[in-house]
Amino acid sequence: MNKVYIYKAYERFWHWTQMFIVFLLLFTGFEIHGSYQFFGYEEAVRYHEFAAITFLVLVVFTIFWHFATDEWKQYIPTVKNMKDQANYYLFGIFKNAPHPVRKTQLSKLNPLQRLVYFGLKVVLIPLLIFTGLLYMFYRYEHQGAIESLNIDGLETVATLHTLGAFLIIAFIIAHVYLITTGHTVLSNLKAMLTGYEEFEDDNEVEKKLTASQSAEEEAETVNE
């Protein structure tokens, strides 16, 4: 195995801090929604708002970091190798086939990951932030009086915000599953802790590719 430094220190800090904040937002958010009782409604609201403000600060710093380091380019969607990547997740991963896209420091995400993370950063997270801010400032104090934003209630806002929360949960489930699909169950998790990703030697990859192609040809022959 070859070790390559993939994840920078801030990237790892941002990942784990974001994870903690998102879990706190989900836990307190569903309590506010009335799904269960743990902190109590008022405390859940207070913790939720604190976590939301902390998340906003983290987002601002992370946007700056992405543009200062050109890491934003990692998330530009591409169709190159997308079909091969989809076939790998659907079939190849269960046959011990080699990964169709080799991860490098300049290209950390495969085509499907780029598409998903692009959607998260450009659509889903902005949606949650925008609807969350409407929740927080729907009514506000102005010159000693309570004013309201010029919108017809919060039903649509609440629906979109809750839908966004469920989509985040779906992403987390998929993300946790894919973490386990490295060359060992914990190798991807270890990489996000240490920054170093372990890769198979090129000769081993070539052997797997040859074996996979041979198996496919044999299967085609049997079918004929």
Each residue's pLDDT tens digit, 91-107:
888 887 888 888 887 88
Query: What would the 3-class secondary structure string for 89-130 be?
Result: HHCHHHHCCCCCCCCECCECCCHHHHHHHHHHHHHHHHHHHH
Q: Quick one: pLDDT at residue 202? A: 52
- Better pLDDT: 152 or 49: 49
Tell me the backbone φ, ψ of residue 110, rounded to 5 degrees. Answer: -80, 170
Q: Quick one: pLDDT at residue 54? A: 97
- Better pLDDT: 122 or 203: 122
Name the E strands within the chain.
Answer: 2-5, 139-142, 145-148, 196-199
Q: Quick one: pLDDT at residue 158? A: 86
Q: Quick one: pLDDT at residue 64? A: 96
Burial 119-138 (b: 16+ CB within 10 A, else e): ebbeebbeebbebbebbeee
Contacts by 139-147, CB closer than 8 A, 24 or more apart: none
Range of the domain at 24: 2-223
Q: Decide the pairing of beta strands 139-142 and 145-148.
A: antiparallel
How many CB atoms are closer than 10 A to CB 29? 22
- Is the entire prediction scored with pTM above 0.85? no
Q: Quick one: pLDDT at residue 208? A: 52
The pLDDT tens digits for 177-211 are 989 888 788 988 999 999 998 876 655 545 554 55
Number of structural domains in the chain: 1
In this structure, what CATH number is given to the domain that contains residue 148? 1.20.950.20
Percent of the chain predicted with pLDDT > 90: 54
Percent of the chain predicted with pLDDT > 70: 82
